[in-house]
Amino acid sequence: MSRDLVSVIVPAWNAEATLGATLESVAAQTHTELEIIIVDDGSEDGTAQIAERFTNRDPRARLIRQRNGGVASARNIAIAHARGTWIAPIDADDLWHPTKIAKQLDAVQSAPVTSGFVYCWHRSLDADGNIVGSSARWPISGSVMMRLSYLNFVGNGSSPLFLRDAVVAAGGYSEALRANRAQGCEDLLLQLRIARQYPVLIVPEHLVGYRVRTGSMSRDVGQMVRSLDFTHQLVAQDGEHAPPAVQRRAQAILYMWLGQSAAAAGHWGTAIQALVRGALIDPARGAVFGGYALSRVVAFALRGGRRSDAGPPFLVVEPAEDLSSRLSIPLLVDRFDHHRLQQLKRSELPL
């Protein structure tokens, strides 16, 4: 097989509403040397039928069906069947820009040293695929384990392009999180384990559309916090890990992010509890983020309780375009985290 073969892995559970669009965005990649492995993880809707119709049209694709075992299990099954040098996961409700894989391959193949994975920025999408936000534009690369322990700047599981050897050496996706009722941070755990051994690269463009859906497991505050804590425990068992102070600050960031997400979904009680807990753990960031959260609430009230209109569809916007807010308070949050990330950069071990 060519060194350019990329194995795209698509875990899918009850994803009939979005799987078709996800697969079309994979099929539209300008880098065409792909194998597309779809794993139906015990779906009870039309997911398997949608996947079968796609495999009938695209000879690069095949479908594997299994009993429901969770996202880590589904991805690991796909990796076991993968033949590519590179592994590219995408969730069944996300989208890729057509140049995503090509640009990431260019980055890793041009790098002077072997990288464990290359990631990119993302845009947040509503249920219709329209842009409702963009990730922070931090160009973080190199030895990143300490910084990634503090802040999950990769952002989601559909962003990285992994070196297959690095994934295998890290043990794949951990199924222990689901076994311990701590699903949610499977992506982060794998990324941290790889970042302990390999440098990481960035393609500084928004090449992934990450669909924000109410009711997803990332809205379960207790489970997500358990998942993050368990992830740090597992990384600590491996050897080198971030100090407890960094782990506590990471927990605070997660509480604040979950609080913001809960507020956007209208779950105000959950939002307030999560934001308060985050601020108690990390008062300095809580004060900065609290000002940002207050500005969002005021803006919501001034609109008479209406949500702000969504932006354009993901695929019609240039991935390098900066759509981030120009408001001073959100930028202050970014600057606060940037300062901390710069401090942590000094403690990164060379790879």
- The per-residue pLDDT for range 99-150, each reduced to its tens digit, is 999 999 999 999 999 999 999 999 999 989 999 889 989 999 999 999 999 9
CA distance 59 to 79: 19
* Domain limits for position 270: 222-312+321-345
CA distance 347 to 242: 10
3-state secondary structure of 34: strand
- Give domain status of residue 229, yes or no: yes
Torsion of CA 26, 30, 34, 39, to 10 degrees: 0
Is residue 142 within 8 Å of 148, Cβ to Cβ?
no
- Give domain status of residue 73, yes or no: no
CA distance 319 to 97: 8
pLDDT at 217 over 60: no
- Give domain status of residue 267, yes or no: yes
Greatest mean pLDDT among 200-209, 235-244, 271-280, 320-329: 200-209
Write the pLDDT tens digit of every residue in 319-347: 999 987 655 567 788 889 999 999 999 99
Residue 3 — very low, low, confident or very high, per pLDDT cuts 50/70/90?
confident
Residues above pLDDT 90, as percent of the chain: 77
- Give domain status of residue 268, yes or no: yes
Q: Which residue has the higher pLDDT, 155 or 1?
A: 155
- Give domain status of residue 79, yes or no: no
Nearest Cα neighbor of 38 from 84, 81, 6 is: 81
Nearest Cα neighbor of 24 from 64, 57, 49 is: 57
Is residue 285 within 8 Å of 335, Cβ to Cβ?
no
**10-14, 132-136, 198-202, 223-227: the lowest-pLDDT one:** 132-136
CA distance 5 to 3: 6
Nearest Cα neighbor of 53 from 42, 40, 41 is: 40
For β-strands 95-96 and 200-211, DSSP reports them as: antiparallel
- Give domain status of residue 269, yes or no: yes
State residue 59's pLDDT score. Answer: 98
CA distance 289 to 284: 9
- Give domain status of residue 85, yes or no: no
Is residue 149 within 8 Å of 241, Cβ to Cβ?
yes
Structural domain count of the chain? 1
What are φ and ψ of residue 125, in 5° steps?
-120, 150
- Give domain status of residue 341, yes or no: yes
Cβ neighbours around 80 below 10 Å, total: 11
